[in-house]
Amino acid sequence: AQSVTQPDIHITVSEGASLELRCNYSYGATPYLFWYVQSPGQGLQLLLKYFSGDTLVQGIKGFEAEFKRSQSSFNLRKPSVHWSDAAEYFCAVAPRDDMRFGAGTRLTVKP
Amino acid sequence: KAGVTQTPRYLIKTRGQQVTLSCSPISGHRSVSWYQQTPGQGLQFLFEYFSETQRNKGNFPGRFSGRQFSNSRSEMNVSTLELGDSALYLCASSSGTKYNEQFFGPGTRLTVL
Protein backbone atom coordinates (compact mmCIF):
# COMPACT_ATOMS: atom_id res chain seq x y z
CA ALA A 1 0.00 0.00 0.00
CA GLN A 2 1.16 3.53 -0.71
CA SER A 3 2.17 5.30 2.49
CA VAL A 4 4.29 7.91 4.18
CA THR A 5 5.80 6.94 7.51
CA GLN A 6 7.30 9.13 10.16
CA PRO A 7 8.46 6.59 12.74
CA ASP A 8 8.97 9.07 15.57
CA ILE A 9 5.84 10.56 17.07
CA HIS A 10 7.73 12.76 19.52
CA ILE A 11 11.38 13.77 19.76
CA THR A 12 13.06 15.82 22.47
CA VAL A 13 16.43 17.46 21.88
CA SER A 14 18.48 19.98 23.79
CA GLU A 15 18.95 23.43 22.36
CA GLY A 16 22.12 23.48 20.28
CA ALA A 17 22.04 19.75 19.62
CA SER A 18 21.68 18.28 16.15
CA LEU A 19 18.38 16.96 14.86
CA GLU A 20 17.30 14.30 12.42
CA LEU A 21 13.65 13.55 11.68
CA ARG A 22 12.94 10.43 9.71
CA CYS A 23 10.57 9.96 6.80
CA ASN A 24 10.03 6.86 4.68
CA TYR A 25 7.68 6.48 1.78
CA SER A 26 6.27 3.56 -0.10
CA TYR A 27 5.37 4.29 -3.69
CA GLY A 28 6.03 2.64 -7.01
CA ALA A 29 8.14 5.48 -8.33
CA THR A 30 9.98 8.38 -6.75
CA PRO A 31 7.39 10.94 -5.78
CA TYR A 32 7.92 14.58 -5.14
CA LEU A 33 8.93 15.06 -1.50
CA PHE A 34 8.31 17.85 0.99
CA TRP A 35 8.87 18.80 4.59
CA TYR A 36 6.46 21.17 6.34
CA VAL A 37 6.47 22.65 9.82
CA GLN A 38 3.40 23.56 11.86
CA SER A 39 3.57 25.75 14.95
CA PRO A 40 0.67 25.67 17.42
CA GLY A 41 -2.37 27.44 16.05
CA GLN A 42 -0.71 27.98 12.70
CA GLY A 43 -0.99 26.55 9.25
CA LEU A 44 1.81 24.62 7.59
CA GLN A 45 4.95 26.25 6.29
CA LEU A 46 7.10 24.64 3.62
CA LEU A 47 10.64 23.98 4.80
CA LEU A 48 12.01 22.36 1.64
CA LYS A 49 11.13 20.19 -1.32
CA TYR A 50 12.75 17.65 -3.60
CA PHE A 51 11.72 17.13 -7.18
CA SER A 52 14.88 15.83 -8.85
CA GLY A 53 18.61 16.44 -9.12
CA ASP A 54 20.89 16.90 -6.14
CA THR A 55 19.72 14.57 -3.42
CA LEU A 56 20.72 16.97 -0.65
CA VAL A 57 18.35 19.90 -0.54
CA GLN A 58 18.62 23.04 1.52
CA GLY A 59 15.62 24.71 3.04
CA ILE A 60 14.68 27.63 5.17
CA LYS A 61 15.61 28.12 8.83
CA GLY A 62 18.83 26.14 8.42
CA PHE A 63 17.14 22.82 7.61
CA GLU A 64 18.30 20.35 5.01
CA ALA A 65 17.06 16.97 3.83
CA GLU A 66 18.62 14.10 1.98
CA PHE A 67 16.79 11.88 -0.46
CA LYS A 68 17.98 8.29 -0.49
CA ARG A 69 16.33 6.29 -3.23
CA SER A 70 17.70 2.95 -2.03
CA GLN A 71 16.13 3.46 1.38
CA SER A 72 13.00 5.29 0.19
CA SER A 73 13.82 7.92 2.76
CA PHE A 74 13.80 11.69 2.95
CA ASN A 75 15.18 12.60 6.37
CA LEU A 76 15.22 16.15 7.68
CA ARG A 77 18.28 17.45 9.51
CA LYS A 78 19.47 20.53 11.32
CA PRO A 79 22.95 20.84 12.82
CA SER A 80 21.97 23.02 15.78
CA VAL A 81 18.42 23.28 17.06
CA HIS A 82 16.99 26.53 18.40
CA TRP A 83 14.18 26.81 20.93
CA SER A 84 12.00 28.35 18.21
CA ASP A 85 12.20 25.10 16.23
CA ALA A 86 9.78 23.45 18.65
CA ALA A 87 6.82 22.53 16.47
CA GLU A 88 5.29 19.64 14.57
CA TYR A 89 7.01 18.49 11.40
CA PHE A 90 5.30 16.76 8.52
CA CYS A 91 6.80 14.85 5.67
CA ALA A 92 4.66 14.83 2.54
CA VAL A 93 4.77 13.13 -0.82
CA ALA A 94 3.00 13.92 -4.05
CA PRO A 95 2.89 10.76 -6.10
CA ARG A 96 0.41 12.17 -8.57
CA ASP A 97 -1.82 15.18 -8.24
CA ASP A 98 -2.64 14.85 -4.56
CA MET A 99 -0.40 15.35 -1.58
CA ARG A 100 -0.16 12.83 1.24
CA PHE A 101 1.21 13.63 4.65
CA GLY A 102 2.91 11.55 7.28
CA ALA A 103 1.49 11.47 10.81
CA GLY A 104 3.93 14.12 11.95
CA THR A 105 6.75 14.31 14.50
CA ARG A 106 6.40 16.65 17.42
CA LEU A 107 9.70 18.28 18.37
CA THR A 108 10.33 19.51 21.90
CA VAL A 109 13.44 21.57 22.57
CA LYS A 110 14.95 21.51 26.05
CA PRO A 111 16.77 24.63 27.26
CA LYS B 1 1.54 40.13 -0.33
CA ALA B 2 -1.26 38.95 1.88
CA GLY B 3 -1.25 35.30 2.83
CA VAL B 4 -4.01 32.75 2.67
CA THR B 5 -6.96 33.72 4.81
CA GLN B 6 -9.61 31.44 6.19
CA THR B 7 -12.89 32.38 7.79
CA PRO B 8 -14.15 31.79 10.30
CA ARG B 9 -11.24 30.72 12.47
CA TYR B 10 -13.45 28.86 14.94
CA LEU B 11 -16.86 27.31 14.54
CA ILE B 12 -19.14 25.29 16.78
CA LYS B 13 -22.01 23.34 15.26
CA THR B 14 -24.30 20.52 16.31
CA ARG B 15 -24.79 17.16 14.66
CA GLY B 16 -26.97 17.24 11.58
CA GLN B 17 -26.25 20.86 10.76
CA GLN B 18 -24.29 22.01 7.77
CA VAL B 19 -21.35 24.36 7.61
CA THR B 20 -19.55 26.47 5.03
CA LEU B 21 -15.91 27.43 5.34
CA SER B 22 -14.23 30.08 3.25
CA CYS B 23 -10.70 30.42 1.90
CA SER B 24 -9.14 33.35 0.11
CA PRO B 25 -5.93 32.39 -1.66
CA ILE B 26 -2.88 34.49 -2.25
CA SER B 27 -3.45 37.01 -5.00
CA GLY B 28 -2.66 35.46 -8.36
CA HIS B 29 -2.94 31.89 -7.16
CA ARG B 30 -5.45 29.82 -9.08
CA SER B 31 -5.28 26.56 -7.15
CA VAL B 32 -6.91 25.97 -3.79
CA SER B 33 -6.64 22.70 -1.89
CA TRP B 34 -8.49 21.67 1.25
CA TYR B 35 -7.25 19.34 3.98
CA GLN B 36 -8.75 17.92 7.15
CA GLN B 37 -6.46 17.56 10.15
CA THR B 38 -7.42 15.41 13.13
CA PRO B 39 -5.34 13.86 15.92
CA GLY B 40 -6.38 10.37 14.87
CA GLN B 41 -6.18 10.56 11.09
CA GLY B 42 -3.60 13.32 10.65
CA LEU B 43 -3.68 15.46 7.53
CA GLN B 44 -5.96 14.19 4.82
CA PHE B 45 -6.51 15.67 1.39
CA LEU B 46 -10.10 16.63 0.63
CA PHE B 47 -10.03 18.21 -2.81
CA GLU B 48 -8.34 20.72 -5.05
CA TYR B 49 -9.88 23.39 -7.23
CA PHE B 50 -8.17 25.07 -10.13
CA SER B 51 -9.82 27.77 -12.21
CA GLU B 52 -13.26 26.97 -10.76
CA THR B 53 -12.99 23.24 -11.56
CA GLN B 54 -12.40 20.43 -9.16
CA ARG B 55 -9.13 18.98 -10.36
CA ASN B 56 -8.56 16.32 -7.76
CA LYS B 57 -10.48 14.68 -4.96
CA GLY B 58 -9.56 12.71 -1.88
CA ASN B 59 -11.42 9.85 -0.31
CA PHE B 60 -14.18 11.62 1.60
CA PRO B 61 -17.95 11.07 1.52
CA GLY B 62 -20.20 13.20 -0.63
CA ARG B 63 -21.20 15.26 2.41
CA PHE B 64 -17.98 17.14 1.80
CA SER B 65 -18.15 19.43 -1.18
CA GLY B 66 -16.52 22.56 -2.41
CA ARG B 67 -16.48 25.17 -5.07
CA GLN B 68 -14.27 27.90 -6.39
CA PHE B 69 -15.30 31.29 -7.65
CA SER B 70 -13.93 33.30 -10.54
CA ASN B 71 -11.74 35.30 -8.14
CA SER B 72 -10.20 32.00 -6.95
CA ARG B 73 -11.81 32.21 -3.54
CA SER B 74 -13.04 28.83 -2.44
CA GLU B 75 -15.68 27.51 -0.12
CA MET B 76 -16.01 24.12 1.45
CA ASN B 77 -19.32 22.76 2.63
CA VAL B 78 -20.03 19.91 4.97
CA SER B 79 -23.63 18.76 5.23
CA THR B 80 -25.25 16.61 7.91
CA LEU B 81 -22.39 17.11 10.34
CA GLU B 82 -21.15 14.19 12.40
CA LEU B 83 -19.12 14.25 15.59
CA GLY B 84 -16.17 12.85 13.64
CA ASP B 85 -16.11 15.93 11.43
CA SER B 86 -14.59 17.90 14.28
CA ALA B 87 -11.21 18.90 12.95
CA LEU B 88 -8.93 21.66 11.79
CA TYR B 89 -9.68 22.39 8.16
CA LEU B 90 -6.74 23.79 6.27
CA CYS B 91 -6.77 25.55 2.96
CA ALA B 92 -3.69 25.87 0.77
CA SER B 93 -3.15 27.91 -2.34
CA SER B 94 -0.61 27.66 -5.10
CA SER B 95 -0.06 29.02 -8.54
CA GLY B 96 -1.44 25.80 -9.92
CA THR B 97 1.68 24.54 -11.62
CA LYS B 98 1.99 20.92 -10.69
CA TYR B 99 3.70 20.43 -7.34
CA ASN B 100 4.30 24.12 -6.95
CA GLU B 101 4.70 25.21 -3.38
CA GLN B 102 1.50 25.25 -1.41
CA PHE B 103 0.89 28.10 1.01
CA PHE B 104 -1.33 27.21 3.92
CA GLY B 105 -3.82 29.32 5.80
CA PRO B 106 -4.17 29.20 9.60
CA GLY B 107 -7.15 26.87 9.38
CA THR B 108 -10.70 26.78 10.65
CA ARG B 109 -11.25 24.85 13.84
CA LEU B 110 -14.64 23.11 13.58
CA THR B 111 -16.19 21.54 16.65
CA VAL B 112 -19.30 19.41 16.25
CA LEU B 113 -21.33 18.82 19.40
Q: Do A103 and B4 touch (CB under 8 A)?
A: no
| pLDDT value, residue A66 | 96
Contacts 24+ apart (CB under 8 A), B39-47: B42/A101, B42/A102, B42/A103, B42/A104, B43/A90, B43/A92, B43/A101, B43/A104, B43/B90, B44/A101, B45/A98, B45/A99, B45/A100, B46/B76, B46/B89
Average pLDDT over residues A38-42: 86
Distance (Å) from the alpha carbon of A21 to chain B's nearest alpha carbon: 17
B106, closest residue in chain A (CA to CA): A43
- Please report the pLDDT score of residue A97 as a whole number: 62
Percentage of the residues of chain B whose pLDDT score is greater than 70: 96
Residue A44 is nearest to which of B90, B98, B99, comparing CB atoms?
B90
CB contact under 8 A, B45 and A100: yes
pLDDT at residue B100 above 90?
no
Which range (A22-36, A66-80, B72-86) has the least confidence?
Answer: A22-36
Question: For residue A41, what pLDDT is reported?
Answer: 77
**Who among B4, B44, B99 is closest to A94 (CB)?**
B99
B2-59: pLDDT as tens digits = 899 999 999 999 999 999 999 999 999 999 999 999 988 889 999 999 999 998 899 9
CA B49 vs CA A106, B17, B32, B73, B107: distances in Å: 30, 24, 5, 10, 17
Sheet holding B19-24, edge to edge: B5-7, B19-24, B74-78, B64-68
CA-nearest residue to A88 within chain B is: B42
Say what the pLDDT of residue A43 is.
87
- Report, as an integer, the average pLDDT of A58-65: 96
For residue A72, the model assigns a pLDDT of 92
